[in-house]
Structure 1
Amino acid sequence: MPDILAQVLAMPGLGWLIAAALVAGLVRGFSGFGTAMIYLPVAAQVLPPLWAIVTLVVMDIFGPVPNLPRAFRDAHRRDLVLLIGGAFCLLPVGLSVLSLAAPELYRYGLSTVSLVLVACLALGLRYHGVLYPPLVAGIGAFAGFLGGLIGVPGPPVILFYMASTLPVQVVRANVLLFLFFFDFLLLGLVALRGDLSGFPVVLGLLLALPNIAGNVIGAMVFNPARTGLYRAMAYAIVAVSAIAGLPAWD
């Protein structure tokens, strides 16, 4: 462990990863989403795709912990179970496809998905139908596939589930809790595949500290009356991170 920690502390780009973890936690704290779409485009520039995802998962397990009690009080439990169950079905498929993808292709896919989501949300494109239970499970399944493929399970849940008629604090709580439990699913499957190594785990533990700090600050400033402002800020930060992460800038 000391040898791995020394390697982590000496790695190039560590400062950028710490900054990305802090900003990602801040945005998630006041919006309930955004961690992966902000952190991964930065991490993918200095780490292999799977390592970037593992550091995110390890970091993200701890980051939302201060906000879990409030989220459990506000959550809609049935929808949360459907989302997680659906994700479990297609997450292994996404991980299998990821193992075949080149790093540059991964980065283009990650940035593209993030930018498409921001564009859809900013333009007000929403699903306007009724969110019946099978559809909620299907949203979770698509999220699981994307989570395994590029480490970003949030877009389908955000794009479709934010059309729900549930109160904003309930939607925010369900998105936060879904992403939290998804991290355990992904980490467990990576371990079962034999792809879990010490370096990204230790790096993820280190990055958990600034991520937790960002989550706490973000939750402190969250005010349901200013939801529009928080969303606009989250969209802008995600878009900047996605554009900066494109391989074309290398």
Structure 2
Amino acid sequence: MPDILSQALGVGGLWLVVLGAVLSGVVRGFSGFGTALIFIPLAGQVLPPVWVITILVVMDMFGPAPNLPRAWREGMPGQVGWMLLGAAICLPLGLAVLVRVSPEIFRYAVSILAIAVPVVLSLGLRYRGAMSRPLLAGTGAVSGFLGGVAGLPGPPVILLYMAGPNPPVLIRANTMVYLYAFDMMLLGVLAMQGRLEAVPVVLGLLMALPNIAGNILGARVFHPGHARVYRGVAYAITIAAAISGLPLWD
């Protein structure tokens, strides 16, 4: 264990991993999403793709935990369940693609997706229909594939809820519960496939502390009456992290 810990602490560019853990925690705390969109472009600059996703999943076991009871009460767990059903079907497909792509392609894909999400959300697209079970399951299926191939399960779910007539409290609650449950699912699949390595797992445990601090801070400053301000801040941080993660700057 000491050797593994020393290897984890000796990772080059560790400060970027820590920065990603803190910033993603703050945004997750006041918006309900943003962990992967911010953490992966930053950590992906210095670590291999599977390591990045492993650290993210392990870290995410703890970071949002203090806010989950509130999110469960304020959300609609039934809707989350249907999305998870779709995700369970397509997650393994996404992981199968992930292990076959180069780190450079991974970084481009993650950064482009992370930039696209705020841009699409800012267009103000609207969905007036019902949150039907097929729609929720289909959204979960797309989310599961993206979560496996790029570690980004959030965009389809975020786009669906932001486009609908949903209050900020419900958006924050449902996305937070869904993303936490998805992380548990992803961790289980990685374990079953034998892709969990000791060093990224230890790094994930270490990053949980700054991520928890960020989540608590973000939750404390959250106020439903200022949802537009929080959303703008989340978009700005997400785009900045995505741009910094492009391989163009290497």
TM-score calculated relative to the size of structure 1:
0.98
Residue 193 of structure 1 and its aligned partner are, at CA, apart by 0.7
Structure 2: gaps of 5 or more residues? none
Q: Is contact 2:98–2:150 with CA below 8 Å preserved after alignment? A: yes
Unaligned runs of 5+ in 1: none
Contact 2:128 2:165 in 1 (8 A): no
Alignment of 1:52-201 (within 5 A): 52-201=52-201
| Change over 3 Å in CA distance of 1:168–1:229 after alignment to 2 | same
Percent sequence identity is: 54
**C-alpha distance in 1 between matches for 2:243 and 2:167:** 32
Task: Say which SS state the counterpart of residue 61 (structure 2) adopts.
Answer: helix
Secondary structure in 2 matching 1:45: coil
What does 1:29-48 align with in structure 2 at a 5 Å threshold? 29-48=29-48
Cα distance in 1 between the residues matched to 2:167 and 2:232: 19
Distance, in Å, in 2 between the alignment partners of 1:87 and 1:65 is 21
Report deviation, 1:166.
3.4
- Alpha-carbon deviation of 1:129? 3.2
Give the deviation of 1:168 after TM superposition.
Answer: 1.9
In structure 1, the partner of 2:235 is: 235
- Tell me if structure 1 keeps the 8 A contact 2:125–2:163: no
The secondary structure found in structure 2 opposite 1:62 is coil
Q: 1:8 offset after TM fit, Å?
A: 1.1
How many positions carry a matched residue from both structures? 250
Alignment-mate amino acid for residue 43 of structure 1: A
User: In the alignment, is the contact (CA less than 8 A) between 1:164 and 1:171 conserved in 2?
Assistant: no
Give TM-score scaled by structure 2 length: 0.98
State whether residues 12 and 46 of structure 1, in contact with CA within 8 Å, keep that contact through their aligned partners in structure 2: yes
Deviation of 1:194 (Å):
0.9
Residue 163 of structure 2 aligns to a residue in which SS?
A: coil
Q: In 2, distance between residues paired with 1:220 and 1:66?
A: 11
Distance (Å, rounded) in 2 between the aligned partners of 1:130 and 1:117:
22
AA in 1 matched with 2:207 = L
In angstroms, what is the RMSD of aligned CA positions? Answer: 1.0
Deviates more, 1:39-48 or 1:209-218: 39-48
